[in-house]
Structure 1
Amino acid sequence: MLKRVILAILACSVLAASGCDTVKPYVKSTKKLYKEYVNVDPSIDLTDPGISDPSINKLAALFAPVDERVEFLLRALSAQDLPPSREWCQSFMDSFPWLSGVAVVTESGAVSFKLPMFTIKQVDYAPLLELENLYKARKMGAYVAASELGAEIMVAKPLFVDNEYKGLLVASFDPGSLAKFSPEPGSLLMFIPGATLWSGDDSGAAQALAQMNWKNLLKSDVAGEQAVGGTRYLWQSRYLAQVRLIYAVSAVTAPAKAAKPEPKPAPAAAPAP
Structure 2
Amino acid sequence: MMDLTEKKSVHALLARHGFHFSKKFGQNFLIDDSVCPRIAEEGNACAGYGVLEIGPGIGTLTQQLALRAEKVAAVEIDTRLLPILQETVGKFENLHVIQGDILEYDIPALLEQEFSGLRCAVCANLPYYITTPILMHLLESGAAIDTITVMVQKEVAEKLTAKVGTRESGAITVAVNYYGTADILFPVLRDSFLPPPNVDSAVIQIQVKQRYADITKNPSHFFAMVKNGFSQRRKTLVNALSATMGYEKQMLISILEEMELPESVRMEKLTMEQLISLSNALSERAVV
TM-score, normalised on structure 2? 0.28
Q: Give the structure with the higher percent strand.
A: 1
Q: Give the structure with the higher percent helix.
A: 2
Q: Which has the larger radius of gyration?
A: 1
TM-score, normalised on structure 1? 0.29
